[in-house]
Structure 1
Amino acid sequence: MKRSLWYINFTFALTKNKGMNTVGNTNFKFENQKSFYRGKVREVYTFPDKIAMVVTDRISAFDHILPKPIPYKGQVLNQIAAHFLEATKHIVPNWLEATPHPNVAIGKACKPIMLEMVIRGYMAGHAARIYSGGRRMICGVIMPEGLREGDKFAEPIITPATKAEEGHDEDISADEILAKGIVDEGTWELLCKYTRDLFTLGSIMADEQGLILVDTKYEFGIYNGQILLMDEIHTPDSSRYYIKEGYHERQKKGEKQKQLSKEFVREWLMENGFQGLEGQQMPVMPDDFVQEVSERYIDLYQQITGKTFIKESNNNLLSDIEKAIKDSI
């Protein structure tokens, strides 16, 4: 089943959750606008020399859009991404130029490299599900025997995925990437270097906040012949964090790790019989669960960045977003 089917069924604009406005879809028309793209969470308005990205309050899991937006989620993601893009620009230049609104980012219009550079420091998530099913190889990388969920790899492993326009992203090995000509060998090696260096710094910054950066993904593009870091980095949508305090004790006891990520959303969906497989019905999201997700995102922002989250006044969200873009382009 392709995620586009859920877009058709759940196209919402400004929505209210428990009295709070949220950003579902935007449908602006700007002067000099060249194109518009609606992703799972982000909406991109392209202009001659730059893009305006609106980070909505939509939430996705298993490559499907869930039916209800999450209050403040877009603001959380956009501001975390801006925080880390600023902190990592000495490692690799990035696309971001300005954030004129908490839900908006303005930057360079790059040509995307159609890969997600996934890097894993611990056995978790997709890798853990594969491992528990008996497989010991992911993206051409061999995972050693005897690991449990939550165990640290001897060295972080890079497990890339194709970046799909429709449907599911697919695991892919380095050999397949080169054989298909997605990038050449020199570019691949540089992407791997950037990925490892970004993960190293992200891990240090997480450790300073009492967290463990478990795994994450990076996306890159080309601008004027130069590789730039694109999109978000180190947000709960692209990353998984464990709580550092008590990590070793929980592993020794075989207990589930406390984490900050949207994995709890995936777990809720699985408990309710949904993993994005054909024939499965998306469960209804109760309002109290939507509120819990919002609170977890806000808590994650504060724990990851060490900053206090300030809720943006949401009385005129769409008009404020539209004005912020007009004034910045």
Structure 2
Amino acid sequence: MSLADSVLAVNNDLPIRTNDPVHSGKVRSVYWLTEADSRRLIEQKGYDVPADTPLAIMVISDRISAFDCIFHGEGGMQGIPGKGAALNAISNHWFKLFKEQGLADSHILDIPHPFVWIVQKARPIMIEAICRQYITGSMWRAYTKGERNFCGIELPEGLQKDQKLPELLMTPSTKGILSGIPGVPEQDDVNITRSDIENNYEAFKFEKHEDIALYEKLLSEGFAVIEKALGSLDQIFVDTKFEFGYVNDVNGQSKLIYMDEVGTPDSSRIWDGPAYRYGKVVENSKEGFRQMLLNHFPDPDVLLNKDRMDERSALANDNALPTEVMMKVSATYIDIAEKITGEKLELSQNPKAEIIEILKNDYDLIV
């Protein structure tokens, strides 16, 4: 079997029993289970949720996106070997740590396969909760152009590129297109301030005003848990994105949880500690892939300029990246996953066949 065969690129065509369309994002596909299957699994597997909770199968892929496009490699390689398994393993590790340390639960109820989560339906808060400990990336680019106010927070003069910030900054943005919020453009992923959230908390889908403080607590404490653990591995937690939502506990009470993924190389920047101390940034995250793309293509403005989206899509579609580039990215994901979890990442030769077999034999979800 070729290396390309071991990559799970298409994850929205599994024969999982569902009455709803499969929802596919850049990396994951979500299969909403029938009400009967949800109820059956909750009872059979003893999931700690109300009996009428809607469940979904979430299948990760090995696809890699950057600059809002999916990229591919030579030889029919439609993703990065090991990437999906690495992302799930890292998220599983952090979610477990959060729960053990009394922060909050996640949406995950079961992990049938390294590529698969069984999750409960959550009511998402419409905020991309971004934390920054260092000034780099888009914040640094804006800072060099004279911007000093980020999401209502004033930054001091004289900061240097990749410098540690005086304190952890929370720089949230909108999740999806929200309408009717004064001063907030009706666009996806626009920066917002804390006062925007406070004054319009219901529009952002907070159930109670006091949950704003809880979300900030879970954000800063979650960041601190990951930062400490990565620090013990001599890795630097630079910045990250968290997502939150509500679920009902077994007694029907609403509670705030972590959802999506957390602390992964896709949602965070992670730098190598020894290299940073020598004045060099070595990325152990997808940021390294982004930088490679900017260097690989002769006109990097295509990747950075939102007005050139059509050209950018064509660039991603028409250019197969060299195999050595794809394998270097693979090594980054696998190495950081093994560092974080302390376990060897077992890679599947045929993940799709394995997933179907497990969901058929152990969960009776295959049609």
Question: TM above 0.5, one fold?
Answer: yes
Q: Does the Cα contact within 8 Å between 2:15 and 2:356 map onto a contact in 1?
A: no
Shift of residue 18, structure 1, vs aligned partner: 5.0
Unaligned runs of 5+ in 2: 36-53, 73-77, 179-186, 249-253
Equivalent residues in 2 for 1:146-185, closer than 5 Å: 146-164=158-176, 168-180=188-200, 181-182=203-204, 183=206, 185=209
Shift of residue 170, structure 1, vs aligned partner: 2.2
- Could you say what secondary structure the match of 1:80 adopts? helix
Is 1:199 aligned to residue 223 of structure 2? yes
Is 1:320 aligned to residue 330 of structure 2? no
1:260-290: CA deviations, max 9, x gaps? 1111111122222222633333252222211
Alpha-carbon distance in 1 for matches of 2:282, 2:67: 21
Match of 2:184 in 1: none
Deviates more, 1:286-295 or 1:173-182: 173-182
Equivalent residues in 2 for 1:1-329, closer than 5 Å: 17=3, 20-47=6-33, 48=35, 49-67=54-72, 68-89=78-99, 90-164=102-176, 168-180=188-200, 181-182=203-204, 183=206, 185-224=209-248, 225-250=254-279, 256-271=280-295, 272=297, 273=300, 274-275=303-304, 277-279=306-308, 280-281=311-312, 282-283=315-316, 284=319, 285-312=321-348, 314-315=349-350, 317-326=351-360, 327-328=362-363
Q: Does the Cα contact within 8 Å between 2:11 and 2:60 map onto a contact in 1?
A: no
Deviates more, 1:239-248 or 1:158-167: 158-167
Match of 1:4 in 2: none
Q: Does the Cα contact within 8 Å between 2:11 and 2:28 map onto a contact in 1?
A: no
Shift of residue 214, structure 1, vs aligned partner: 0.8
Match of 2:44 in 1: none
Structure 2 counterpart of 1:243, one-letter code? D
Taking structure 1 as the reference length, the TM-score comes to 0.86
Alpha-carbon distance in 2 for matches of 1:311, 1:304: 17
TM-aligned CA distance change 1:219 to 1:29, over 3 Å: same
Q: Which entry has the higher C-alpha Rg, 1 or 2?
A: 2
Alpha-carbon distance in 1 for matches of 2:19, 2:353: 17
Match of 1:5 in 2: none
Q: Does the Cα contact within 8 Å between 1:23 and 1:318 map onto a contact in 2?
A: no
Shift of residue 148, structure 1, vs aligned partner: 1.3
Aligned residues: 308
Alpha-carbon distance in 2 for matches of 1:16, 1:61: 25
- Could you say what secondary structure the match of 2:31 adopts? strand
Shift of residue 168, structure 1, vs aligned partner: 4.9
Alpha-carbon distance in 2 for matches of 1:269, 1:276: 14
Alpha-carbon distance in 2 for matches of 1:258, 1:215: 14
1:19-77: CA deviations, max 9, x gaps? 64433332234335444211111111122421211111111112222243111111110
Taking structure 2 as the reference length, the TM-score comes to 0.77
TM-aligned CA distance change 1:115 to 1:269, over 3 Å: same
